[in-house]
Amino acid sequence: MATGAPIFALATGAGRAAVAVMRVSGTGTGAILSTLCGGRVPPPRSARLRTLQRTIDGRCVALDHALVLWFPAPGSYTGEDSCELHLHAGPGVIDAVGDALVALGARPAEPGEFTRRAFEHGRLDLIQAEGIADLIEAETESQRRQALEQADGALSRVYSAWAERLKTLLARQEALIDFPDEEIPPEVERAVLDDVRALIDETGAHLDDAGRGERLRRGLVFAIVGAPNVGKSTLLNYLADRDAAIVSDVAGTTRDAIEVRAMLGSVPVTLVDTAGLRETADPIEAEGIRRALFHVKQADWTLHLFDGPDIPPMAVGNALPVHTKADLAAGPPGVLSISVQTGHGLAILRDVLAAQATALTARQGTPPLTRARHRAGIEETRAALMRALAQDWPEMRGEDLRLAMRALGRLTGQVGVEDLLDSVFGQFCIGK
C-alpha cells in the first residue's frame, strides 16, 4: 500500500438507503475537494451543503447535492487530509462521484487501508486498530463493550505501563553493567530483581484468564451430545428457534455435526448437534461419531443428553447432564430434566446456558487478551523476564530485559511489525 496517495471508499454499507458516505484521505485531498465543490471548500470540521461537479469535455456537469465535511491533517481519523461526502445513495450517484475521484487522481482504498494509515500516522496503535476491527464485527452488547474498551486503548495502556517499568529496569541494569567497580548500593540489584518478579507475576495473572476475552470475541462453542434418539436435534431446533436439524425416530439420522449460531446471555454461542454416540458397523455413522467426540474435546462446554434413569459416565467434568423426555419418565434426582414436547424445564435450561456463557466470558481484572497474537506476545515477554531473573551475569540479564521490551513493542506496533500489518489490516472491511 502506497501511503499518502489519495484513496476513497464508501464508509456505509451496500444496499438501498437515503445517504451514502464517501470517505477520501491522502495528500491532495484538499485540491480534489476544492475541484469537486467549485472552489467552495467548507470550514474545517463543519458540514456544508455543496453541489459536487465535474468537468467533462469542457462542460461543468453536476454530480449531486451533497453534505461535505473537510478534515485537514492531522485532525482526522487517518492523520492525513481527509473529507467526507454525504451523497444521495443511488448507485448512479455513487458511481459518478467515484469516477470523478479517479479522474482527479484518487484510487479505491484496499481493505483496512484507512485504519492502517491511522496506525502509520500514530493516531492509534496496533492493538487499538484490532479493537476497531472487532467493534465493526461485534454482534452483541458484550462484544461491543470489549471491543470499544480495546479501541479506546485500555489494553494498550496496560502494556505501555509495563513497557515504562521495563525501561526503568533497563536503566538500572545498565548502571550495574557500566559501573561494576563503582559503589552502587546492593539494594539497586535487589530492586531490579524484585521488579522483574513483580512483572512476571502480573503477566502471569494476565495470561491466566481462561481465554475469556478470546472466547467472547470469537463466540463460544457448546456441543450437544448423547446416545441416538435422546432429543439432541429437537433441542437444537428449540434453542435455534428454527428447524435447523432433521428430527427422526430413526437412529443415526444425524451423521455430521450441525452448527447453529445463537445468543445466550449476550454472548454469541455456536450450538453443535452431533451424531448419536453408540457402537456401529456403519462406516459413515462411525465417522460421524468420531467427529462428535472431536467436537466434545474442542467445545467450551458440553450438554450431555440422556433419557434413561441413570446419568451416563461421560456426562461429568466439563459437561452438563440433561435428562430429556421428561413427559415420558422422570429423571434421576438433582439433574435438570426437560421436555421439548411440553416445555417442562426449557426456561430453566436456557437460563443455565446463558449463565454459563456469561461466566465463561466475564471480565476479571485487567482488560482481557482478545487474540492469539496478544497471548503469544505476552508469553514471549514473560519467558524473557523469567530468563532475566535466572541470569547471574548482568549483561545477559540486560539482554533478556531488552527482549522482553521488544516483545511488548511488537504487540502495540512500536517495533518490528511490518510482516504483521498486511495480516492485521487485511481483515477490515473496505472503507475502514
Which residues on adjacent β-strands are paired with residue 15?
none
Using CA atoms, how far residue 59 sits from 31, 33, 55, in Å, is 19, 18, 5
By C-alpha distance, which of 283, 287, 293, 224 is closest to 259? 224
Tell whether residue 392 is among the known ligand binding residues.
no
Tell whether residue 275 is among the known ligand binding residues.
yes
Exposed, middle or buried by CB within 10 Å (0-12, 13-18, 19+), for 302?
A: buried
**Per-residue cell: 204:** 502471569
Tell whether residue 330 is among the known ligand binding residues.
no
Tell whether residue 253 is among the known ligand binding residues.
yes
Given a contact cutoff of 8 angstroms between Cβ atoms, the answer to whether 427 and 133 are in contact is: yes
**Per-residue cell: 299:** 467445545
Tell whether residue 231 is among the known ligand binding residues.
yes
Tell whether residue 232 is among the known ligand binding residues.
yes
Tell whether residue 251 is among the known ligand binding residues.
yes
Tell whether residue 55 is among the known ligand binding residues.
no
Tell whether residue 123 is among the known ligand binding residues.
yes
Q: What phi and psi values does residue 370 have, to the nearest 5 degrees?
A: -120, -10
Tell whether residue 234 is among the known ligand binding residues.
yes
Tell whether residue 276 is among the known ligand binding residues.
yes
Whole-angstrom distance, CA of residue 71 vs CA of residue 46: 9
Whole-angstrom distance, CA of residue 76 vs CA of residue 102: 22
- Residue located via cell numbers 478470546: 214
Tell whether residue 233 is among the known ligand binding residues.
yes
Tell whether residue 254 is among the known ligand binding residues.
yes
Tell whether residue 23 is among the known ligand binding residues.
yes
Residue type at 34 in one-letter notation: S
Q: Residues 6 or more apart from 161 whose CB is under 8 A from it?
A: none
Tell whether residue 273 is among the known ligand binding residues.
yes
Residues annotated in a binding site for K(+)? 229, 248, 250, 253
Residue ranges for the known binding site for Mg(2+) are 233, 254
Q: Residues at the annotated binding site for GTP?
A: 229-234, 248-254, 273-276
Annotated binding site for (6S)-5-formyl-5,6,7,8-tetrahydrofolate: 23, 84, 123, 432
Binding site per annotation, positions: 23, 84, 123, 229-234, 248-254, 273-276, 432
